[in-house]
Amino acid sequence: MPTIGINAFVRRQTSESKYSHYEGEMPVFLAATHFDKAKPGYRDGVVLVPVPAKGFFSGVVEVTPETSLRATFGARREGELSYVSVEAVGATKLPAKHVELVLYRRDVLLEDNDASTECEWELISINARPTEEEEPLTPMAMARNFLKLEGGTKADYSAQEFAEAILYWSTRAMRGD
């Protein structure tokens, strides 16, 4: 079984945040026990580990005409490009129906000095969604990766993938306070 650590980036995913989260300790034990089911991520050295959805909540909500939206402008982390982000104000996180834990291999993290531990793999993100439908990265995350901007990890996407991400996220938003 590989060694799996907790990357500093995933620590923002708490019940109080707008992001998906797990009720309890960071789910490294789930990543380790289900690692044999890992699927390749968007590049070599990134894997998606499907885990049972119990205890996970999604920060993604469906937008309706009644949803209050708020736009903010800022960066995810210091040194990254600022951008417009739209949040669904006061929306309730929904229990997840599908969860994948995103793990990066140490050598990939070292490319950008983003390793937080000495482990072979690190938990980077909890991707929990309230539906079984596949969820693309946000168009901004895809652009950050595609253009190899600060905070992104080089990846190539087709025009089809970009278009599908734009359509998907045109009716969804992250939960906001």
pLDDT values of the chain reduced to their tens digit, one per residue, 177 residues: 899 999 999 999 999 898 999 998 989 999 999 999 999 998 899 999 999 999 999 999 999 999 999 999 999 888 889 999 999 998 889 999 999 999 999 999 999 888 999 999 999 999 999 988 888 989 999 999 999 888 887 889 999 999 999 999 999 998 987
The CATH architecture one would assign to domain 4-176 is 2-Layer Sandwich (3.30)
Report CA torsion sign: 91, 92, 95, 100. positive
The pair of three-digit structure tokens given for residue 64, joined into one six-digit string: 């309706």
Residue 67, pLDDT score: 95
Q: Where are the domains of the chain?
A: 4-176
- Give the residues across from 5 on adjacent strands: 122
Please answer whether residues 49 and 105 qualify as being in contact, where contact means their C-beta atoms are separated by less than 8 angstroms.
no
Residue 46, pLDDT score: 96
**3-state secondary structure at position 74:** strand
CB atoms within 10 A of CB 29: 12
CB-count exposure of residue 155 (10 Å: 0-12, 13-18, 19+): middle
How far is Cα 117 from Cα 66, in angstroms, rounded to an integer?
Answer: 44
CB atoms within 10 A of CB 148: 12
Residue 34, pLDDT score: 97
The pair of three-digit structure tokens given for residue 129, joined into one six-digit string: 């969604």
Residue 154, pLDDT score: 85
- What pTM was computed for the model? 0.77
How far is Cα 122 from Cα 113, in angstroms, rounded to an integer?
Answer: 13
